Structure 1
Amino acid sequence: MRQNPARRAALLDAAIEVLAREGARGLTFRAVDVEAKVPNGTASNYFSNRDDLLTQVGHRFYERLEPDPGLLAAAAEGPRDRDRVTELMHDLVARISGFPSGYLALLELRLEATRRPELRRLLTERIRADIQANIDYHTKSGLPGDATTVIALYLALNWLIVERLTLPDVFPESEIHRLVTDVVERILPGPRRDT
């Protein structure tokens, strides 16, 4: 298997685009090569089989969605209150919504995982680890709420993102900011600072 990290990343990014546009059935090495604009056979030199490609696409999605270290550093400064949680949730929704093909590809991977036990196991491990990392960050940083708060926000905002990316007319774009704020306020009640 080839080891050029930049080429591997470009192929995975191409696979994300193919998955989002054509679904799991459309994800072939040939389709990835075409999307990445590389010679035929390139993807097959980097991934041992389709399952390997699907698994690595999942890892690439999370890699690309890592929050900006500056945001996390800024979140550690100042008050740790509901307004800060709201700010972090707005950033999360914006980051995911700013990479719609990535999230749609992840939805395709989740559907494919219902038929592929190994992919299910790997996605389950990755998503559990991601949720636990969010819980750890939330509780260690002194933000209000607990593990249940993080889980409730995860569940509510993930579905809002699904609606936004798959059926955008259900909740018009002009309502998204208010909806994110309302979700946080209902999950994490308490006084709100005037801003």
Structure 2
Amino acid sequence: MAQNPERRAALVNAAIEVLAREGARGLTFRAVDVEANVPKGTASNYFASRDDLFDQVGKRIHERMGPDPAVIEESGRKPQNLDLVIEYMQGLFGRITGDRTGYLALQELRLEAVRRPELRTTLTRTISGNLERDIGFHLGSGLPGDRSTVLMLYLAMNALIVEHLTLPGVLEGVDTERLIADLVTRAVATPVA
């Protein structure tokens, strides 16, 4: 396997573009070569199989969409209150909708995981790990709400992002910042009986 890290990164980013645009069936080594503008056969020199390529794409998408550590550090110096949770969720929405291609590629990976058990295992482990990390961060930071609050926000934000990126006309005219603020306020304020 070829080991040029810059070339590998360019190929993975090209694969994300192809996956978002063409879906999993369109994600071939040749399509990645064309998207990355490299000689034919380059991608197959960097990835042992399509499964390997799918795994690398999944890892890279999560890196691309992750929060900036400096923003998290700065937020740690703010009051750990409802306003900060709203700020986090609005930032999440902006960050992910700002990388439309990355998120659409992630949705394609999720769909492909239905047909590929190894991908499902890998993707489940990654997403579950990220969710547990987020829950731990929320609870450890002293932010308002409990584990159930974070799960509700996770599910609601995913649905909002999918709607916004796939069928934006459904929410046309909706002030998403206000909607997110309402969503967070209600999730934090509504105890589960």
Give the TM-score category using the shorter length.
over 0.9
Superposed structure 1 runs of 4+ greater than 6 Å apart: none
The one-character-per-residue Cα deviations of 1:79-118 (angstroms, maximum 9, x if unpaired) are 1111000001111111110100111011111010000000
The one-character-per-residue Cα deviations of 1:104-140 (angstroms, maximum 9, x if unpaired) are 0111110100000000000000000000000111111
Partner of 2:37: 37
**Residue 102, structure 1, aligned to residue 111, structure 2:** no
What letter corresponds to residue 87 of structure 1 in structure 2?
E
Aligned residues, how many? 190
The one-character-per-residue Cα deviations of 1:139-176 (angstroms, maximum 9, x if unpaired) are 11111111111111000000100001000111126521
Partner of 2:176: 176
Question: Aligned partners of 1:68, 1:127: CA distance in 2, in Å?
Answer: 18
Partner of 2:78: 78
What letter corresponds to residue 84 of structure 1 in structure 2?
L
Please say which of residues 11-20 and 173-182 is displaced more in the overlay. Answer: 173-182
Question: Aligned partners of 1:85, 1:27: CA distance in 2, in Å?
Answer: 37
Question: Aligned partners of 2:34, 2:160: CA distance in 1, in Å?
Answer: 32
Question: Aligned partners of 1:58, 1:104: CA distance in 2, in Å?
Answer: 12
Partner of 1:22: 22
Tell me the TM-score normalised to structure 1 length.
Answer: 0.94
Distance 1:173 1:30, change over 3 A: farther
What's the secondary structure of 1:79's corresponding residue? coil
What's the secondary structure of 1:170's corresponding residue? helix
Tell me the TM-score normalised to structure 2 length.
Answer: 0.95
Structure 2, gaps ≥5 residues long: none
What letter corresponds to residue 118 of structure 1 in structure 2?
E
